[in-house]
Structure 1
Amino acid sequence: MKNLLFNPFRICFIILLMSGTSLPSIAQSDSSSRIHVGFIYPISSNGKQAASITNRFSLHVIAGLSKAETGASISSIANIVKQDAAGAQIAGAANVIGGSASGTQMAGVANVIGGGAKGAQLAGFGNIIGGEAQGAQIAGVINLSESSGAAQVAGFANITKKHAKGLQLAGFFNRGEEVNAQMAGFANVAKKVKGIQLAGLINIADSSDYPIAIFNFIKNGEKSVALTFDETMTGVVSFRSGGHVLYGIAGIGYNFKDNAKAMYAAEGGLGAHIPLSSKALGGRLRLNLEAVSHTLTDFDGGHYNKNSLRVLPALKWGNHFEAFAGPTLNYVSYDREDNYDFIKKYIWKNNSSDDFQGLFVGFNVGVQYVF
């Protein structure tokens, strides 16, 4: 008897057997009901009229159908609400709301809302909102909405047609028009970004001063092709791209020292522009600060790895050209058997490890075409 009394599914079943397809004692009127319990439409206390009745509380073994919900609705598979829903909707698979939602929706697969949503949505697969999502959205795969007023977190992608006022955080891709901040494992796309735009590979925007990625295609930003040379006699052709402040670096090159085997270079990193002269004076002098990871390889097991911090005063001439040169602080590591002799003097070096490790001061000099 104790198990029977505390099992909601058994209670639903007993109520249905006793009352058929409706419970007049529970219903307040033809269009509203305090409690709606059932198995699956139309086997419920509201029967075939369920789609025209608003409920304060709904509990279904499989799935429930209603006109609107003003409190909580719970089902093992799906809650289907034709108009608006307030309170909490909890479903094993999906919550489908035709109008707007002002509470919290939790679903094992998806929350689908035709209008706006003022509360939070949590879904194993995706949240799809036809209007503005004012609360947080958390999904295992994707969040889709007209706009968002809070954070969007997804395992794969966050996509809004208009603004995103909160952080967009995704494992692969973010898209919006006016956004505050975006972080993605692969790419971000926006029109105007107010804060940081961080991506594993690509950022695309009309306006973004703080993009952090290897490739940044910012419409009102800056792109350049540079030719650089350093203390190891390595020449590199690199592509620099970003906003007015931050930019990414990607380059390939060749070491011109007389090595036993030809050595080729690849580098990637991030940089920041710091103005040293005002726009009134033409803004031709600035400081470029760069953090770069650089590798030389002979493609036959030989590798020379260098991580550098570069301080590069730069001077522009004309509309497109800039020259720069400055000191670098470098940490290098390589297999001791390779015995590279690019550098003679070190600030510090480790003589006890299997790989050679050293710290030294070098230089970087170059010229770039800005477009």
Structure 2
Amino acid sequence: MKNLLFDPSRIFFITILLVAISFRSIAQRGAAQRSAAQRDTALVHIGFIYPISSNGKQAASMTNRFSLHVIAGLSKGETGVALAGVANVVKENVHGVHMAGVANVIGKNAGGAQLAGVANVTGNNAEGAQLAGFGNIVAHEAKGAQIAGFMNLAENAGAVQVAGFTNIARKNIKGAQVAGFLNKAGDVNAQISGFANVAKKVRGIQLAGLINIADSSDYPIALFNFIKNGEKSVALTFDETMTGIVSFRSGGRVLYGIAGVGYNFKDNAKAMYAAEGGLGAHIPLASSLRLNLEAVSHTLTDFDGGHYNKNSLRVLPALRLGNRFEAFAGPTLNYVSYERENNYDFVKKYIWKNNSSKDFQGLFVGFNVGVQYLF
């Protein structure tokens, strides 16, 4: 009996209830002296869960400066600090700091900071910062920062959206989107994701692990870029190792991605197949002449343990032939590595090579030549 009587959790809950009852009693005694406007506001709102609180059944029609609830609080508005073990539920507007173990649910506008273990949900606009373990959802404009473990959703966003999985702005975002998997917006300054970005107009960089999609994006960085006002091509290239590559090149007005497969035509003991991926940039020189700068990672393999890895920087003057074709050729600077026992002899002369490491490493100057069909 002694242990139960002095259990800390019991003492805490009893204290909260006594405080709530005391505030309720004070509020009732002073109600007759207060005006109607005063009765709609409270300096402090303390409770357990609606209606067990100092505002009682009138809680939904009152605005508070400070709220503290063991489980959940209900109010018309909050203008200072609101803390709840599970949820803060506000019918209209909030300003200040609001923290909940699970959720902050706001009927109209939110200003300040909302922090929730699971979600922040706002029925109209949100200013300031929103941080949630799972998601931030704003019906209209999120003017501040949204940071979530899984997703951010808004109609318009004014600052930045950062999420572990996805950010979605149904219209436009003035700032940037950063997500582990997917970003989607109308007009946006910048997008960075682990898998894909989707937008209308991207004013800055668009970086994705695999795919970028946009109406307009001059600086997309991904293997595949489907830009409406950009450029796509299929290219056939050949290099100093006698490797032919068929590649898909896609991007915007400046940057483009490269993804290709091919075959090595040298007389090897085993057939060797090629794959490459990289990033390029167009530099206009004249109406039919431009310079293509490319950084490419290239691998040859026989699928039986033999690998020849090459990283290249390419400087490729390109001449437009009519409306659809372009021919290009130029020097390349290449770094190669492979197991010494394979003893590949694709290149005879090196600028530098490492004779002491387990794997062969070398640096040499080569070439790349090709033609591409633009569409």
CA distance in 2, matches of 1:38, 1:269: 60
5 Å-filtered alignment, 1:58-137, equals 58-137=67-146
The residue that corresponds to 2:368 in the other structure is 364
SS at match of 2:57: helix
CA distance in 1, matches of 2:361, 2:326: 34
CA apart distance, 1:52: 1.2
Counterparts in 2 of 1:251 and 1:38: CA distance versus 1, 3 Å: same
Q: Does the 8 A contact of 1:22 with 1:47 survive in 2?
A: no
CA apart distance, 1:48: 1.2
SS at match of 1:48: helix
Q: Are 1:289 and 2:293 matched, yes or no?
A: yes
Q: Does the 8 A contact of 1:74 with 1:89 survive in 2?
A: yes
- TM-score when scaled to structure 1? 0.95
Match of 2:185 among 176, 179, 182: 176
Calculate the aligned-residue CA RMSD, in Å: 1.7
Q: Are 1:329 and 2:338 matched, yes or no?
A: no
CA distance in 1, matches of 2:29, 2:336: 81
Q: Does the 8 A contact of 1:34 with 1:55 survive in 2?
A: yes
CA distance in 2, matches of 1:146, 1:132: 6
SS at match of 1:50: helix
CA apart distance, 1:46: 1.0
Q: Are 1:16 and 2:20 matched, yes or no?
A: yes
5 Å-filtered alignment, 1:198-209, equals 198-209=207-218
Match of 1:345 among 345, 349, 357: 349
SS at match of 2:16: helix
CA distance in 2, matches of 1:183, 1:160: 14
SS at match of 1:182: strand
SS at match of 1:23: helix
CA apart distance, 1:25: 5.8
CA distance in 1, matches of 2:25, 2:271: 84
The residue that corresponds to 2:256 in the other structure is 247
CA apart distance, 1:356: 0.4
CA distance in 1, matches of 2:321, 2:29: 86
Counterparts in 2 of 1:21 and 1:322: CA distance versus 1, 3 Å: farther
Q: Does the 8 A contact of 2:237 with 2:369 survive in 1?
A: yes
CA apart distance, 1:20: 5.7
Q: Which amino acid aligns with 1:251?
A: G
Q: Are 1:151 and 2:155 matched, yes or no?
A: no
CA distance in 2, matches of 1:271, 1:21: 73
SS at match of 1:164: coil
Counterparts in 2 of 1:16 and 1:329: CA distance versus 1, 3 Å: same
CA distance in 2, matches of 1:289, 1:319: 21
CA apart distance, 1:49: 1.5
SS at match of 2:44: strand
CA distance in 1, matches of 2:228, 2:101: 45
SS at match of 2:234: strand
Match of 1:303 among 307, 310, 322: 307
CA distance in 2, matches of 1:271, 1:34: 62
**CA offsets 1:291-328 (integer angstroms, 9 cap, x no match):** 00000000000000000000000000111100000000
**CA offsets 1:81-116 (integer angstroms, 9 cap, x no match):** 011111111101100001000111000110000110
5 Å-filtered alignment, 1:184-333, equals 184-277=193-286, 283-333=287-337
Q: Does the 8 A contact of 1:22 with 1:44 survive in 2?
A: no
CA distance in 1, matches of 2:285, 2:29: 80
- TM-score when scaled to structure 2? 0.94
Q: Which amino acid aligns with 1:324?
A: F
CA distance in 2, matches of 1:304, 1:352: 18
CA distance in 2, matches of 1:352, 1:238: 36
Q: Does the 8 A contact of 1:26 with 1:33 survive in 2?
A: no
Aligned length: 362
CA distance in 2, matches of 1:73, 1:158: 27
Q: Which runs of 5+ in 2 are unaligned?
A: 1-7
> Which piece of structure 1 moves more, 83-92 or 203-212?
83-92
CA apart distance, 1:8: 7.8
CA apart distance, 1:68: 1.0
CA distance in 1, matches of 2:113, 2:125: 12
CA distance in 2, matches of 1:66, 1:60: 11
